């Protein structure tokens, strides 16, 4: 199995639509793919830039999810706030945890 991956889905959200983004993220918890270890909704300090960071068990599981999902969940969350986000995928090279 390949190393874990981290996806970062990012967009600038109008402050008037931030509550839409947060509600969509909160409502997605019941539909979180089993391949996701954990997911975070982040806002850059002092900015309108928001990011959904998700940790995936493997590239294979991410690719399987992406091929089966009509609209990936993080994209649907941003679109609920009127934003077309960007995606960056990172391979986890090393990991530290307590």
Judge whether 98 lies within some domain: no
Q: What is the pLDDT of residue 97?
A: 86
Evaluate whether residue 40 is within a structural domain: yes
HEC letters along 46-76: CCCEEEEEEEECCHHHHHHHHHHCCCCHHHH
Domain contains 96: no
Banded model confidence at residue 31, pLDDT cuts 50, 70, 90: confident
How far, in Å, are 18, 37, 61, 76, 92 from residue 24 at the CA level?
Answer: 10, 19, 23, 8, 27
Residues 6 or more apart from 9 whose CB is under 8 A from it? 51, 52, 54, 72, 74, 75, 77, 78, 85, 86, 87
Query: Regarding beta strands 5-12 and 49-56, do their DSSP bridges make them parallel or antiparallel, or are they unpaired?
Result: antiparallel
Number of domains in the chain: 1
In a domain, 84, yes or no: yes
Task: List C-alpha distances in Å: 83 to 11, 35, 43, 48, 76.
Answer: 7, 25, 14, 12, 9
Question: In this structure, is residue 24 part of a structural domain?
Answer: yes
Instruction: Write down the pLDDT at residue 30.
Output: 81
Residue 64 within a domain: yes
29 within a domain of the structure (yes/no) = yes
CATH code of residue 84: 3.30.70.100
52-62, pLDDT tens digit by residue? 999 999 999 99
Q: Is the pLDDT of residue 2 over 90?
A: no
Tell me the whole-structure pTM to 2 decimals: 0.93
Asked if the structure places residue 97 within a domain, the reply is no
In terms of residue numbers, what domain contains 25?
5-91
């Amino acid at each position: 199995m390949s190393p874990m991956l981290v996806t970062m889905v990012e967009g600038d959200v109008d402050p008037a639509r931030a509550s839409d983004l947060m509600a969509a993220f909160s409502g997605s918890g019941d539909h979180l793919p089993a391949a996701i270890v954990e997911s975070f909704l982040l806002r850059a300090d002092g900015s309108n830039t928001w990011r959904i960071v998700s940790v995936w068990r493997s590239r294979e599981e991410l690719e399987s999810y992406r091929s089966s999902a009509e609209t990936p969940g993080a994209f649907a969350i941003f679109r609920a706030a009127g934003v077309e986000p960007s995606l960056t995928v990172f391979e986890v090279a090393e990991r530290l945890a307590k």
